[in-house]
């Protein structure tokens, strides 16, 4: 690979700064904490880090409400700290990606403070404003993901403004060329600093329907929303007009044109739409995004059939586009709890890493997955996430996956010298890095072994994929790169499985990956519980 294509097949380690390591004793993780642990991250065998927002923010949505795109919030450090982080990461061979939240700002951003004052100021048209209906109600029926109407009344202007997320996260008006230019200029600031990539938050939310048409209702049986509370009315609509508008495609081309001036810098778009796989295929086609990922594998459905169908649907639609897969992040329940069904074993943890990292595409791994962390159980009084607080008790929000990294089994798990912003789950202390470093059979060492092995398998990093139709709970496929072909098979169940698999008797098992290996015998694929088979096909 050339340096410009480093991202194809890369494993990207997501760092949630608030919860990684606190170095100044305020209970919140910071950039110096990331710098301190970069050697640990590099030891995992990953290719890049993605650092969640660290910009100036009132923290209503913990950094995804940005008040200044070009500065570091004092909670996390300084711009000089970020420069040091970038230099150390590059010295360790790690690429650095950062979040860019383009569709909305904080209501504390200078742009919005000016825009909200009246209808004739210089920034009056920089946000999505609309008059009330004759009865004073909002302009249409659009809903916020975080509950209730997506419109908030502003008495100073005598109008409503749009917010697809919190009311304190007003949406920018991307129909205004000046807004698009200003947004791209903010992106340029970080590219000039030397970042290697941008993870684009909610990138399909940049444009809205100019006519402000109502979203149509969704039948009850189709109200399935990944990551949504089961009683969230957001799932009651087809979101045809408040996001994923056709004008966004031209903006993505403009963004790509900017990125092309920085040959090794890449974009990774977060996409959540009515048909996320189709949107991901469209957004990564031609000179748009380099990569896209959706929420399909962040669901509660853990079956070989679902994973196979999801991958097949994407493969059928993607032409030159490149996918990026994730099974955990800072917005959903941790995968070992979500998919483990009470069996959060080390073997399952390493199986899921191997399965994820064998799919065609790049991979995002969330901090703590390399330790086999489960979802933390928090009482209501400990919640900080406005999403969870609003929808408690049917939905507990996102705090359970955001608790601090356990570095040791000390009072605050080595994360901080003071009580942390979210409590430490006592069960996580037994999974602390220091414990796992001392255990050659730990999830951590298993993660490292697999990453070292995968790095030497071009077929797994960059090859094509051919899915095999096998019964539950077996997921299997063939990866091909040039003349090399590798069979990858995974038993997603805890009991041994034996299924017919003709045509692979000449395949040679590959070892060195550190997982429990199955076998091919007389036209049968035999896999132990949560076992794998990697084999080279002649």
Active site residues: 201, 270
* Residue in 325, 276, 322, 268 with CA at minimum distance from that of residue 298: 325
| DSSP tag of 19 | G
Q: Are 424 and 400 in contact (CB under 8 A)?
A: no
Start-to-end Cα distance in the chain: 24
What's the rounded Cα separation, in Å, for the pair 89 and 15? 13
User: What span, in angstroms and rounded, lies between the C-alpha atoms of 431 and 416?
Assistant: 17
Q: Are 465 and 475 in contact (CB under 8 A)?
A: no
Helical H segments across 413-494, by residue range: 426-429, 433-437, 443-455, 458-462
**182 and 161 in contact (C-beta within 8 Å)?**
no
Measured torsion, CA atoms of residues 469, 470, 472, 473, in degrees rounded to the nearest 10: -110
As a whole number of angstroms, the distance between CA 517 and CA 532 comes to 5
Nearest to 72 by CA among 56, 94, 91, 85: 56
Between helices 276-283 and 304-317, what is the axis angle to 10°? 40
Cα 52 from Cα 376, distance rounded (Å): 20
Sheet holding 129-130, edge to edge: 129-130, 159-162, 151-154
* Residue 111 tokens, joined: 């742009």
Q: Residue 446 in contact with residue 436, Cβ under 8 Å? A: no
Pairing of strands 151-154, 55-56: unpaired
Across the strands, what pairs with 161? 129, 152
Q: What backbone torsions phi and psi does residue 298 show, to the nearest 5 degrees?
A: -100, 15
Tokens of 9: 């097949």
SS3 for 356?
Answer: helix
The secondary structure element, H or E, covering residue 224 is none
Q: Which positions ≥6 away from 107 have C-beta within 8 Å? A: 65, 113, 116, 167, 168, 169, 170
List, in sequence order, every residue forming a beta bridge with 485; answer none if it has no partner. Answer: 480, 537
Q: Are 130 and 137 in contact (CB under 8 A)?
A: no
Q: Are 357 and 460 in contact (CB under 8 A)?
A: yes
C-alpha span between 380 and 364 (Å, rounded): 30
User: Can you tell me the distance from the alpha carbon of 275 to that of 22, in angstroms, rounded to the nearest whole number?
Assistant: 39
User: Which residues are 465's β-sheet partners?
Assistant: 479
């Amino acid at each position: 690979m050339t340096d410009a294509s480093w991202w194809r097949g890369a494993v990207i380690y997501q760092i949630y700064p608030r919860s990684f390591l606190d170095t100044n004793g305020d209970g919140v993780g910071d950039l110096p904490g990331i710098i301190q642990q970069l050697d640990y991250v590099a030891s995992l065998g990953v290719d890049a880090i993605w650092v969640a927002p660290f910009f100036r923010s009132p923290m209503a949505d913990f950094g995804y409400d940005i008040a200044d795109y070009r500065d570091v919030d004092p909670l996390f450090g300084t711009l000089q700290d970020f420069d040091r982080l970038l230099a150390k990461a590059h010295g360790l061979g790690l690429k650095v990606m950062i979040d860019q939240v383009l569709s909305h700002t904080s209501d504390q951003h200078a742009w919005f403070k000016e825009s909200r004052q009246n209808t004739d100021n210089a920034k009056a048209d920089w946000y999505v404003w609309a008059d009330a209906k004759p009865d004073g109600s909002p302009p249409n029926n659009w809903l916020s993901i975080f509950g209730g109407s997506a419109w908030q009344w502003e008495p100073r202007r005598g109008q409503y403004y749009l917010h697809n997320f919190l009311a304190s996260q007003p949406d920018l008006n991307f129909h205004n060329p000046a807004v698009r230019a200003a947004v791209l200029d903010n992106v340029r600031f970080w590219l000039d600093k030397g970042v290697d990539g941008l993870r684009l938050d909610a990138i399909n939310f940049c444009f809205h329907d100019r006519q402000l048409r109502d979203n149509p209702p969704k039948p009850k049986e189709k109200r399935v929303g990944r990551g949504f509370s089961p009683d969230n009315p957001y799932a009651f609509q087809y979101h045809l007009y408040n996001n994923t508008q056709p004008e966004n495609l031209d903006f993505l081309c403009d963004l790509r044109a900017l990125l092309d001036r920085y040959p090794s810098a890449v974009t990774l778009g977060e996409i959540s739409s009515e048909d996320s796989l189709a949107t991901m295929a469209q957004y990564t086609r031609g000179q748009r995004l380099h990569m896209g990922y959706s929420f399909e594998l962040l669901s509660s459905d853990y079956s070989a059939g679902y994973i196979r169908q999801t991958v097949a649907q994407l493969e059928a639609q993607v032409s030159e586009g490149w996918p990026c897969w994730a099974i955990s992040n800072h917005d959903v329940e941790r995968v070992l709890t979500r998919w483990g069904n009470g069996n959060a074993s080390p073997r399952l943890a390493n199986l899921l890493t191997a399965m994820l990292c064998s799919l065609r595409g790049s991979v995002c791994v969330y901090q703590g997955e390399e330790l086999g962390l489960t979802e933390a159980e928090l009482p209501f009084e400990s919640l900080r996430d406005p999403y969870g607080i609003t929808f408690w008790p049917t939905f507990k929000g996102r705090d359970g996956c955001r608790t601090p990294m356990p570095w040791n089994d000390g009072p605050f798990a080595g994360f901080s010298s003071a009580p942390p912003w979210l409590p430490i789950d006592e069960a996580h202390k037994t999974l602390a890095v220091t414990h796992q470093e001392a255990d050659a059979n730990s999830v951590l060492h298993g993660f490292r072994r697999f990453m070292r092995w995968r790095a030497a398998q071009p077929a797994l990093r960059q090859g094509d994929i051919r899915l095999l139709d096998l019964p539950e709970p077996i997921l299997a496929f063939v990866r091909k790169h040039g003349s090399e072909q590798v069979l990858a098979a995974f038993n997603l169940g805890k009991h041994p499985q034996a299924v017919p698999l003709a045509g692979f008797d000449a395949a040679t098992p590959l070892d060195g990956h550190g997982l429990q290996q199955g076998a091919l015998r007389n036209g049968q694929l035999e896999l132990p519980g949560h076992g794998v088979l990697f084999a080279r096909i002649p």
